[in-house]
Structure 1
């Protein structure tokens, strides 16, 4: 593996998660992103109350994403072998935290009426 390309990453993720789960997650992430952009354009400002609640959900997203990836890959925390494993685990946690925060903020904005 001399080059890191997008098609190669997609192939690795399809192998890790399975083709159907990977593409379902990709479509879900795309739809949540579209809904988030819609909410931002519709409201034209961030609600600090919703933003705070979304930030409070971030640790749960980080933990859930790390547990999900460990479950899918049949690995545990004791299987961490080196610095790159720690970096990947931190990246997975960060993506899960941000993803859940965006989902929580978007859900709150779509379900609650604007004041």
Structure 2
């Protein structure tokens, strides 16, 4: 593999998660992102109270993402062999943290009226 393309990444993710789960996760991510943009455009400002609560949820998102990926793959924590494995695990944790923060902020904004 000389070039890393989007098609290659999609094929790897489909193989890792399964086609149905991968596209379900992609669909959920798109829906949450559209809802987040809607909330930002509707409110025209970020609520610092909601933002703080969203930030407090980030460690839970990081842990959940790492455990989810470890559960899906056939490897475990004992199989972490080098710096690339650690970097991938940190990237998964960061994505989970950011994703849950966006989800929490959006859910708060959609379910509650203004501060």
TM-score of the superposed pair, with normalisation by structure 2? 0.98
How many residue pairs get matched?
115
* 19-28 vs 68-77, greater mean Cα deviation: 68-77
Q: Which residue of 2 aligns with 1:43?
A: 43
**Is 1:79 matched up with 2:75?**
no
What does residue range 1-115 of structure 1 map to in structure 2 within 5 Å?
1-115=1-115
Partner deviation per Cα, 1:78-100 (whole Å, 9 max, x = no partner): 11011100000000000000000
TM-score of the superposed pair, with normalisation by structure 1? 0.98
Partner deviation per Cα, 1:38-84 (whole Å, 9 max, x = no partner): 00000000000000000000000000000000000022111101110
* Alpha-carbon distance in 2 for matches of 1:106, 1:10: 27
What is the aligned-residue RMSD (CA, Å)? 0.6
Q: Secondary structure of 2:3's partner?
A: coil
Q: Secondary structure of 2:21's partner?
A: helix
Structure 1 unmatched runs, 5+: none
Partner deviation per Cα, 1:9-62 (whole Å, 9 max, x = no partner): 000000000000000000000000000000000000000000000000000000
